[in-house]
Amino acid sequence: MVRAAIVFLLTLVSVLPGQTNPASLVARQWRQTHEKAILEEFSGLLSIPNIATDHLNIRRNADAVAAMLRGRGVAVQLVEAAGANPVVFGELNTPGATRTIVLYAHYDGQPLDPKEWATPPFTPVLRDKLIEKDGQVIPWDRVRYPVDPESRIYARSASDDKAPILAIVTALDAIKSASLKLHSNIHFVFEGEEEAGSANLERILTAHKALFAADVWLICDGPVSQNRQQLIAFGARGVTTANITVYGPRRELHSGHYGNWAPNPAMMLARLLTSMKDETGHVLVEHFYDGIAPLSETETRALAEAPVPDAALMNELWLGGTEGSPKKLIELLQLPSLNIRGMASSRIGDQASNVIPSTASASIDMRLVKGMDHQKTIDRLIEHVRRQGYFVVEDEPGQDVRMAHPKVARITTLGHGYNAVRTSMDLPISREVIRVVESARGPAVKVPTMGGSVPLDSIERAVGTRTITIPIANHDNSQHSSNENLRLQNLWDGVELMAALLTM
Amino acid sequence: MVRAAIVFLLTLVSVLPGQTNPASLVARQWRQTHEKAILEEFSGLLSIPNIATDHLNIRRNADAVAAMLRGRGVAVQLVEAAGANPVVFGELNTPGATRTIVLYAHYDGQPLDPKEWATPPFTPVLRDKLIEKDGQVIPWDRVRYPVDPESRIYARSASDDKAPILAIVTALDAIKSASLKLHSNIHFVFEGEEEAGSANLERILTAHKALFAADVWLICDGPVSQNRQQLIAFGARGVTTANITVYGPRRELHSGHYGNWAPNPAMMLARLLTSMKDETGHVLVEHFYDGIAPLSETETRALAEAPVPDAALMNELWLGGTEGSPKKLIELLQLPSLNIRGMASSRIGDQASNVIPSTASASIDMRLVKGMDHQKTIDRLIEHVRRQGYFVVEDEPGQDVRMAHPKVARITTLGHGYNAVRTSMDLPISREVIRVVESARGPAVKVPTMGGSVPLDSIERAVGTRTITIPIANHDNSQHSSNENLRLQNLWDGVELMAALLTM
């Protein structure tokens, strides 16, 4: 009867070449007839503020996600550790299954400044297109269904990373509606502090090793390819961050009465940052590139076959040049990077006054590839700063320290960076994941390492598994910035993808 | 009778060696018996917000200052020009006088961010010492007179530049109380937009040339020497400012997904700023130092004789080194400078997120010495930026411009910088001013050029006069920054100084 239903459905929906996964087709039909309910559920989840440090609201998120899973028959528990945000763990076990698959996502979102948002970040709104393309808000009570799939939902975590959670529970509804069977033990792990660096994840996983064990963890996070093609990433760059503050006079000084004499920390910082990278994008921190693992033949071939969205992206981003030119974006993402996330000293523009600033600060992140160690990389950065003549301290330096050294830099780190991982594309489980994903979404872009970072090393280390990342969000989602959004078609595609993965 | 009164006073007050000016001694006596009334009048004036763009309050300041002068028998008019803040002009003419002296100050103050102030900037408070030395607020109703002269009044413009206005009117009271005679025509010019660059002063002076004519303008602005000795500056550096913005991607990008590929504007700005100055403080903008007028023999000698507060200042400011070392502060102030006033790109610290910023901006000022032209200096800066490969624009660049050039910089200027001036120390009027000042305040530090800038070139050009600057504020006044303050002893000294100048 199930098969009959599927055959019937196949006659109703428009199927693209290569999209032959029965669960995906069921999921599409379900979505098309339930868009309103799906978006209402999504909007409800996005309305709960989810900054990792906001523990009260984080718990509200965890409870909401747990309730969403339980409503679909999933056995759920909140896995707790002192000082950590709860991990929502769910199980759908299949009697006789020989394979366990974890679907991972995170329910916390990046910190934000509400003033920079066009609409409040935790009041989801629908826009007919991107804000940058003059997209207008469509009030929820005036939305017509089916919704134009090019519409966008604007809210913190609309794409990063509550979209996969919604896609999963919707796919579960669809699967149940068609009485499709699962073939693997499907487990869910939804983390609550990924954007804060996943400081406690490894500890939690290690403490519950058996619970979290699996043949593979499928990491549902990040964006798909810029040409909107499905992406499968077999690794992710690691990351580590540092805040650097350099010091001038104890208080701001009049730039007339002291200019030329009092050291200007903004100029010192500019010089220090300049010393870290050359104009071609090559990082000048000593030994930065040491020990990097080379790519395999399959990985090199996959990169060569990947689409090249560079020209279209440059147009979209108004770029007249790129940093690592002539290398392509996808090639550059296989390399480590050093990036200034932000920089500040005194005031600018109309707020500027004639002063020599007292301090200047920059926040940087370094993305790491397989073979690099995050702690060693920080050590190399500190050593580099020392080579520029700085006395490096961790705590705010007092008069003694500042007077004893002409150049003092305070370097602080979050203390919980993580390393890159890369799962071989040639493993049987890797090949199986590729097959299932492509049966749902057609030919996929397969990359050895995606640019973004997820704490995959701690997962692999703690539970002895391997990870493969399968994102669903659109690339132009303003993830990590203001006005984060999700393109609806990406959510719909995600539902179909999740249905395929759940039934693999 | 007047002479008898003075002789009597001389027996009462403690006179320092060299302080023999009768009007100064009268002024000291007056101040010592009227501290409460003086501080109340000062507090009232400081309570009126005085940012140059706040036209309503600026006019309240002008009216208040005019009323203060009229109350002392000065004939006052507000000199107006379309779009300009009023100049308060006052006259105390002496029948038969052959000399006209202008006392100049300004009643507007630097822009500010109230959040950075310990107490609201327009609610004057008295503290027993510097905030940095844990100075505590003394409520006005609990002040005991005479006040500890090391106390500080905290308020915007407490030192820069309402203090001289208070000193002048108090000195007028003292002079009147002792029936002392004036010997010159004394005119007062109190400007209302000096901190906004004195954009209209030259136009106003030119339109009223006869009104503002004088043998010398004494500029009462800026701080005295760091060792608290009286300063006479025969010139001031000119100034010009520029805001520079460089561009990365149109919107902030995820640093993982685009790092190494999308140009980082913060790094571009760091590199650009670094190209402008070397580690020794030498400005690298091509032709920056061209055409500078050399110092005379008297000027060179005066510099050699000036005190060297450098070591004490380094201690006060927690500096382990200075930029132009081994040159002394006072030598370095005779040279032009290029200073970063502020710098910003995206967010730092706890607010930072994993992004490649979209833009990065810096505000810079350049201090100019005799022989440099402010417009030419800006042109040289722009040319320098071009030499670093930038396409330079004045307006916000659109997609076309940004895509046509890998490096785009927007440079805007206030458009009203001004040049340095330097009055010869060997002129008769210069020698006379030195004599009178030293009779009131003892041996003075005499410098060819002080570090700060006042629009002296436009004054000299417009009314064909010469200028000499005689400051009264303490050097550690946080002028142009938050928590601006005036040390009371500097106000008291200023009263004595003004009494001497008024009666010269």
Tell me the nearest-neighbour CA distance from B193 into chain A, angstroms: 14
* Beta carbons of A261 and B452 less than 8 Å apart: no
pLDDT at A16: 60
Which residue's structure tokens are 């007839």? A33
Q: Which residues contact A290 (CB under 8 A, 6 or more apart)?
A: none
> Which residues have C-beta within 8 Å of that of residue B38, sequence separation ≥ 6?
B31, B166, B170, B491, B495
pLDDT digits (tens, 9 = 90+) for A35-81: 999 999 999 999 999 999 999 999 999 999 999 999 999 999 999 99
Question: With 70 as the cut, is the pLDDT of residue A5 above it?
Answer: no
List CB contacts (< 8 A) between A342 and chain B.
266, 345-348, 351-352, 355, 357
Residues 6+ apart with CB under 8 A from A216: A101, A102, A429, A433, A465, A466, A467, A468
**Tokens of residue A60, six digits:** 């509200």
CB contact under 8 A, A348 and B346: no
pTM for this predicted structure: 0.79
The whole-number average pLDDT for the span A244-262 is 95
Residue of B nearest to A238 (CA): B256
Which one has a higher pLDDT value, A399 or A15? A399
Cross-chain Cβ contact A249/B479 below 8 Å: no
Length of chain B as a residue count: 504
Per-residue confidence in pLDDT tens, chain B, 504 aa: 445 444 444 444 455 667 789 999 999 999 999 999 999 999 999 999 999 999 999 999 999 999 999 999 999 999 999 999 999 999 999 999 999 999 999 999 999 999 999 999 999 999 999 999 999 999 999 999 999 999 999 999 999 999 999 999 999 999 999 999 999 999 999 999 999 888 899 999 999 999 999 999 999 998 998 889 999 999 999 999 999 999 999 999 999 989 999 999 999 999 999 999 999 999 999 999 999 999 999 999 999 999 998 999 999 999 999 999 999 999 999 999 999 999 999 999 888 988 999 999 999 999 999 999 999 999 999 999 999 999 999 999 999 999 999 999 999 997 678 899 999 999 999 999 999 999 999 999 999 998 888 878 889 999 999 999 999 999 999 887 899 999 999 999 999 999 999 999
For residue A201 the two structure tokens come to 């994840």
DSSP 3-state of B236: strand
Q: Are A124 and A153 in contact (CB under 8 A)?
A: yes
> Nearest-CA neighbor of A427 among A317, A237, A299, A326?
A299
pLDDT band, residue A371 (cuts 50/70/90): very high
Is residue A64 within 8 Å of residue A45, measured between CB atoms?
yes
Task: Convert the pLDDT of each residue in B424-436 to its tens digit.
Answer: 999 999 999 999 9
- pLDDT for the residue B14: 52
Give the E-state strand segments of A235-390 in sequence order: 235-236, 238-247, 253-254, 337-346, 355-356, 359-368
Three-state DSSP state, A278: coil
Q: Pick B478's closest partner by Cβ from A251, A260, A267.
A: A251
**Interface test with chain B among A317, A335, A484, by most B beta carbons within 10 Å:** A317
Measured distance CA(B363)–CA(A347) in Å, rounded = 8
Given an 8 Å threshold on Cβ–Cβ distance, is B319 in contact with A403? yes
Answer whether B341 sits within 8 Å of A360, measured CB to CB: no
Contact B342 A340 (CB under 8 A): no
Residue B363: list chain A partners with CB under 8 A: 347-349, 352
Q: What DSSP state is assigned to residue B133?
A: G
Task: For the beta carbon of residue B38, count every other beta carbon within 10 angstroms.
Answer: 21
Task: Please give the DSSP secondary-structure letter assigned to residue B142.
Answer: G
Closest of A364, A302, A356 to residue A336, by C-alpha = A364
Which residue type, as a one-letter code, is found at position A290?
A: D
Cβ–Cβ gap B111/A350 under 8 Å: yes
Question: Under DSSP, is residue A391 helix (H, G, I), strand (E, B) or coil?
Answer: strand
Q: Does residue A7 register a pLDDT over 60?
A: no
Instruction: For residue B30, give the H/E element and its range.
Output: helix B22-33
ipTM computed for the complex = 0.80
Say whether pLDDT at A288 is over 60.
yes
The pLDDT score that the predictor gives to residue B16 is 60
Question: Which helix (DSSP H) or strand (DSSP E) does residue B355 occupy?
Answer: strand B355-356
CB contact under 8 A, A319 and B263: yes
Q: Token match 């905030």: residue?
A: B131
**Closest Cβ–Cβ partner in A132, A403, A478 for B318:** A403
Q: What is the pLDDT of residue A200?
A: 92
Residues contacting residue B260 through CB under 8 Å, at least 6 positions apart:
A281, A323, A324, A332, A333, A335, A337, A367
Q: Do B345 and A345 touch (CB under 8 A)?
A: no
| Beta carbons of A232 and A480 less than 8 angstroms apart | no
DSSP letter (8 states) at residue A240: E
Residue A43 near residue A166 (C-beta atoms within 8 A): no
pLDDT at B17: 64
- Report the alpha-carbon distance of residue B457 to residue B467 in Å, rounded: 9
The answer to whether the Cβ–Cβ distance between A344 and B340 falls below 8 Å is: no
Say if the Cβ atoms of A346 and B345 lie within 8 Å: no
Instruction: Quote the pLDDT of residue A11.
Output: 44
Of A5 and B133, the structure prediction assigns the larger pLDDT to B133
Chain B: residue whose CA lies nearest to A315: B403
Chain A CA closest to residue B282:
A260
User: Using the beta-carbon criterion (under 8 Å), do A264 and B339 form an inter-chain contact?
Assistant: yes
Q: Which amino acid is at B247?
A: Y
What is the C-alpha to C-alpha distance for residues A243 and A359, in angstroms, rounded to an integer? Answer: 13
Rg of chain B's alpha carbons, rounded to an integer?
A: 24
- Structural contact between residues A334 and B256, judged by C-beta atoms closer than 8 angstroms: no
Helices A2-12 & A22-33 angle (0-180, nearest 10)? 60
Note the pLDDT tens digit of each residue in A435-491.
Answer: 999 999 999 999 999 888 887 888 999 999 999 999 999 999 988 789 999 999 999
Q: A357 vs B350: CB contact, 8 Å cut-off?
A: no
**Residue A17 — pLDDT band, cuts 50, 70, 90?**
low
Contact by Cβ (8 Å): B417, B239: yes
Distance separating alpha carbons of residues A155 and A110, to the nearest angstrom: 11
B139 to chain A, minimum CA–CA distance in Å? 26
Residue of B nearest to A252 (CA): B481
Please name the residue of chain B whose CA is at the shortest distance from the CA of residue A259: B337
Residue in chain B lying closest to A413 (CA): B349
C-alpha to C-alpha distance for A263 and A407, rounded to whole angstroms: 9
- What's the mean pLDDT when you consider all of chain A? 94
CA distance linking residue A140 with residue A35, whole number of Å? 12
| Beta-carbon separation of B357 and A346 below 8 A | no
Helix, strand or coil, per DSSP, at residue A198? coil
3-state class (DSSP) for residue A393: strand
pLDDT 10s digits, A99-156: 999 999 999 999 999 999 999 999 999 999 999 999 999 999 999 999 999 999 999 9
Q: Residues B280, B286, B288, B294: what is their CA dihedral angle, to the nearest 10 degrees?
A: 90
- For residue B315, list chain A residues with Cβ-Cβ distance below 8 A: 403
Which residues lie closer than 8 Å to A319 by C-beta, 6 or more apart? A313, B248, B249, B250, B262, B263, B402, B403
Of A247, A279, A453, the CB nearest to B256: A453
Q: How many Å apart are CA A46 and CA A150, to the nearest integer?
A: 19
Rounded to an integer, what distance in angstroms lies between the CA atom of residue A249 and that of residue A266? 11
Q: Which residue among B239, B321, B337 sits closest to A260, beta carbon to beta carbon?
A: B337
> Residues 6 or more apart from B311 whose CB is under 8 A from it?
none
Out of A113, A337, A353, closest to residue B110 by CB: A353
Shortest distance, CA B117 to any CA of chain A (angstroms): 13
Chain A residue with minimum CA distance to B337 = A260
Number of neighbouring beta carbons within 10 Å of residue A282: 14
**Closest C-alpha to A450, from A289, A345, A296, A335:** A335
- Do residue A256 and residue B237 have CB atoms under 8 angstroms apart? yes
How far is A294 from A420, CA to CA, in rounded Å?
13
